[in-house]
Amino acid sequence: MSDLETPPPGAAPADAQRGGGFRNSIKPLLILAVGLLSFRSAVADWNHVPSGSMKPTILEGDRIFVNKLAYDLRLPFTRVRLATWGAPQRGDVVVFLSPADDTRLVKRVIGVPGDVVSMVDHQLIVNDQLADYQTLDPETVGHLEPGDIRIHRFAEESFDHGPSHSIMTELGPSASPYFEAMAIPAGHYLVLGDNRDDSADSRVFGTVPGNAILGRATAVALSVDPARSYLPRWDRFFRGLP
């Protein structure tokens, strides 16, 4: 009798059995991957922040939590809205696709549809009303480089005496302390970085259409310090964003 036995009728060859086992084992992983990506696309996401345009609120090395359901529900991987229940409000920190090149950015909403916004000497004027400002001691801001403290001033900014957030501006001559009054069209938003002199925002690419806004950034999920060998900044973990 030969060492090579003929498989019984109807039995799959060994190679086919191994291939079927591989396909069966990979299916749950594919389903899990698609489910996770769909969740991140339509429900909630977490984004790494590589730049300092939102300092002192968001720092380089922060990973922010983004609520994709803050304003609407979208078909995963598209901009198609299935339902809408809100709109960005003045002061919200939002993640959006840049009108210039579709880069994902995070900035603060300053003007909503129908607003008229201008800036004079780093102070915002919204609908003929000056925003409220209170000077901050830089030593109280936290996690700033010595250079930031030496060359910037810090303030709390708010609108209509509502919730406040921190901003920073350069102490010396600045390239962007002013901009002319801008009327915000329907369905669009004016966004600025909290680091007012080092942010490419609506002063560069104009207003942001509502369907380009992906969600609201609500918290720092975790944070590492690139300047210190990526050591964790433990006190920034799970910190809410103003």
In sequence order, what are the residues at sequence separation of 6 or more whose Cβ sits closer than 8 angstroms to the Cβ of residue 197?
A: 168, 169, 170, 174, 175, 176, 177
| List 53, 166, 199, 223, catalytic entry | 53
Neighbours of 63 (CB within 10 A): 17
| List 55, 107, 202, 223, catalytic entry | 107
Q: Which helix (H) or strand (E) holds 66?
A: strand 62-67
Rounded to whole angstroms, the Cα distance separating 207 from 104 reads 15
Q: Does 53 participate in catalysis according to the annotation?
A: yes
Establish whether the linkage from the previous residue to 99 is cis, with ω within 30° of 0. no
For residue 128, give both structure tokens. Answer: 């003929």
- Helix, strand, coil percentages for the chain (3-state, nearest 5): 20, 40, 40
Q: Does 164 participate in catalysis according to the annotation?
A: no
Known catalytic residues? 53, 107
